[in-house]
C-alpha cells in the first residue's frame, strides 16, 4: 500500500470507534466484494476498466446515491470517485481530502479539471495535509475559504521502541554509520541522487522497499563501486520496520519533485528518534521535519549537499541526539494518530451542525 492507502486505513479504523463509517473503494477486478477490515465495513466496487491507471467504477454512483450518509468523504486525486459523486446526486455534506495535485498526467489533469473544481465547489470542507501544500497548490487557491489543514498522523508508539535484540542483529549484520531510506523505487523518490551521494559518504545505506527502478538502482550502485555499501533490504512490512529505524543513525527522504506531497515515513523515523535529511520541495516534505530543528534540509537533486548533510550527522553524535529528540517530540505533538482523528471528527461535527 502507498501513503494514501495507509492513511485511509489508519484513519478509518479509528473513526469507526466514534461514528457509523463505511468505506467504498475500487476493486482490483470485475467483482464487487464486501468485507470487514480492522472493524471497518469495506465495499470493493467492481472495476471493469481503467483510464490512465485510474479505476473507473460505473456502479459507484448508484452506491453513493442509495446510501443514507450524512457525509461523503472523498480522498483525492481520484477521478473515478469524483465523477461517481457528481453523478450520484448525493444531497448530504461532502468532505474532500486533497492529498496532492495531478502532476504526471497533465493532459488528463486539464481535461478533468472542471469536474474536480465542481466537486471542490460542492464540498463543505477540504482537508489539506500541510500549510505548505495549501499555499502552493493552484487548485486549492480557488477554494481557500473552505480549506482546513489536518496533517497526517500515525501511531507513534509503534516506532518509539522495538525489540533491542532485533536492532542489535541488524547492527551486527550491516555495521556502523547506517543511513536508512524507506519507500517505493519510483522516479520521484530521488533514490538515484541518494546513491550518488553515498559515494561521498563514509557510511552504509539501507534501502527498505521495492519497485520498478530496483534493477536500475542496483546497477548504479555497482557502477559507482559502492554496491557493498548500498543494502537493498526489500519490502519490510510496517510491523517489522521499527528495528531498522533503531539500528540506523540517520533517516533520509531524498525526493525530487512535488509528487512527494508529505512523506509520512519521516514521522516514523522521527518517532524512532532519528534525525532526518529531507529536501526543500514546494510541498509538505520540509514541514514535517524542520531544518536545523529535527534534521537538515537540502535542495533536491543536489548530490553534494545531500552527502554533506549525511556526513555532518554521521560525524556528530551530539547533533544527532539533539535533532532526534526534537523529532520525537514533534512527532508526538503534531503528527499523532489521535490528533488527526480528533481534528477530523471535529470538522465532521462542525459541518454537520451548519
Q: Please give the CATH topology (third level) of the domain spanning 3-153+337-352.
A: Rossmann fold (3.40.50)
Name the helix (H) or strand (E) containing 72: strand 71-76
Across the range 101-125, mean pLDDT stands at 84
Q: Find cell 519521516 and name the residue.
A: 266
Nearest-angstrom CA–CA distance, 17 and 20: 8
Does position 20 have pLDDT exceeding 90, yes or no? Answer: yes
Three-state SS for 231? strand
Residue 238: per-residue pLDDT: 82
3 band by pLDDT with thresholds 50, 70 and 90: confident
Question: Is residue 221 scored above 80 in pLDDT?
Answer: yes
Q: Cα separation of 46 and 29, whole Å?
A: 6
Q: Confidence band (pLDDT; 50, 70, 90) for 343?
A: very high
Q: Residues of the chain with pLDDT > 70: what percent?
A: 98
Please tell me whether the peptide bond between 33 and the residue prior to it is cis, using omega within 30 degrees of 0: no
Mean pLDDT calculated for residue range 242-248: 98
CATH 3.40.50.2000: which residues of the chain? 3-153+337-352, 157-334
293-334 residue pLDDT tens: 999 999 999 999 999 999 999 999 999 999 999 999 999 999
Closest CA to 251 of 185, 328, 150: 328
Note whether 206 and 171 are within 8 A (CB): no
pTM of the model: 0.91
Label the pairing between strands 178-182 and 276-279. unpaired
Mapped onto helix, strand or coil, the DSSP state of residue 247 is helix
Cross-strand pairs, 298: 279
Give the closest residue to 51 by CA, choosing from 75, 83, 21: 83
- What residue has cell string 477490515? 37
∠ CA(90), CA(56), CA(60), 5° rounding?
Answer: 30
**Contact yes or no for 275/319 (Cβ under 8 A):** yes
pLDDT digits (tens, 9 = 90+) for 164-211: 999 999 999 999 999 999 999 999 999 999 999 999 999 999 999 999
User: What confidence score (pLDDT) does residue 103 get?
Assistant: 67
pLDDT band per the 50, 70, 90 thresholds, residue 107: low
pLDDT at 1 > cutoff 80: no
**So what's the pLDDT on residue 102?**
80
In the prediction, which pLDDT does 105 show? 63
Tell me: the pLDDT tens digits for 282-301?
999 999 999 999 999 999 99
Give buried/exposed letters for 186-200 (b at 16+ CB in 10 A, else e). bbbbbbbbbbbbbbe
CA gap 329, 335 in Å, rounded: 10
At 171 the pLDDT is: 96
Does residue 354 have a pLDDT over 80? no
Beta strand extents in the chain (DSSP E only)? 23-26, 33-37, 40-45, 49-51, 54-56, 71-76, 93-98, 125-128, 147-149, 178-182, 204-208, 230-234, 250-252, 276-279, 295-298
Pull the grid cell for residue 225.
563501486
Residue in 222, 177, 235, 174 with CA at minimum distance from that of residue 195: 222
* pLDDT band (50, 70, 90) for residue 48: confident
Q: Is the dihedral of CA 211, 270, 286, 109 positive or negative?
A: positive
Q: Exposed, middle or buried, 339 (CB in 10 Å: 0-12/13-18/19+)?
A: middle
pLDDT of residue 56: 84
Give alpha helix (H) positions in 16-105.
60-66, 79-88
Give the angle subtended at the CA of 263 by the CAs of 77 and 84, to the nearest 5°.
15
User: What average pLDDT does the structure give for the chain?
Assistant: 94
To the question of domain 157-334 being in CATH 3.40.50.800, the answer is no
Amino acid at each position: 500500500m502507498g501513503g494514501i492507502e495507509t492513511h485511509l486505513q489508519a484513519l478509518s479504523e479509528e473513526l469507526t470507534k466514534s461514528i457509523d463509517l463505511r468505506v467504498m473503494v475500487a476493486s482490483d477486478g470485475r467483482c464487487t466484494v464486501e468485507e470487514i477490515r480492522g472493524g471497518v465495513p469495506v465495499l470493493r466496487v467492481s472495476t471493469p476498466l481503467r483510464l490512465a491507471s485510474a479505476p473507473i467504477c460505473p456502479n459507484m454512483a448508484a452506491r453513493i446515491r442509495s446510501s443514507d450518509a450524512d457525509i461523503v468523504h472523498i480522498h483525492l486525486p481520484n477521478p473515478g470517485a469524483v465523477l461517481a459523486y457528481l453523478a450520484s446526486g448525493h444531497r448530504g455534506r461532502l468532505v474532500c481530502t486533497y492529498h496532492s495535485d495531478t502532476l504526471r498526467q497533465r493532459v488528463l489533469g486539464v481535461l478533468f479539471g472542471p469536474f474536480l473544481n465542481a466537486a471542490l465547489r460542492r464540498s463543505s470542507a477540504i482537508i489539506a495535509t500541510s500549510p505548505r501544500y495549501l499555499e502552493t497548490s493552484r487548485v486549492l487557491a480557488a477554494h481557500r475559504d473552505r480549506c482546513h489543514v489536518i496533517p497526517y498522523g500515525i501511531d507513534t508508539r509503534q516506532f518509539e521502541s522495538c525489540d533491542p535484540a532485533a536492532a542489535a542483529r541488524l547492527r551486527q549484520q550491516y555495521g556502523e554509520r547506517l543511513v536508512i531510506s524507506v519507500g517505493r523505487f519510483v522516479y520521484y523518490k530521488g533514490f538515484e541522487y541518494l546513491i550518488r551521494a553515498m559515494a561521498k559518504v563514509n557510511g552504509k545505506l539501507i534501502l527498505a522497499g521495492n519497485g520498478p527502478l530496483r534493477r536500475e538502482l542496483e546497477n548504479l550502485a555497482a557502477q559507482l563501486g559502492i554496491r557493498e555499501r548500498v543494502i537493498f533490504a526489500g519490502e519490510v512490512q510496517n510491523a517489522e520496520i521499527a528495528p531498522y529505524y533503531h539500528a540506523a543513525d540517520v533517516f533520509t527522504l531524498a525526493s525530487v519533485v512535488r509528487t512527494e506531497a508529505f512523506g509520512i515515513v519521516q514521522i516514523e523515523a522521527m518517532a524512532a528518534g532519528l534525525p532526518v535529511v529531507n529536501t526543500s520541495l514546494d510541498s509538505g516534505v520540509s514541514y514535517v521535519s524542520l531544518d536545523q530543528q529535527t534534521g537538515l534540509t537540502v535542495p533536491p537533486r543536489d548530490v553534494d549537499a545531500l552527502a554533506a548533510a549525511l556526513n555532518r550527522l554521521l560525524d556528530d553524535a551530539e547533533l544527532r541526539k539533539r535533532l532526534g529528540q526534537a523529532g520525537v517530540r514533534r512527532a508526538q505533538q503534531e503528527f499523532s494518530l489521535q490528533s488527526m482523528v480528533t481534528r477530523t471528527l471535529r470538522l465532521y461535527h462542525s459541518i454537520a451542525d451548519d
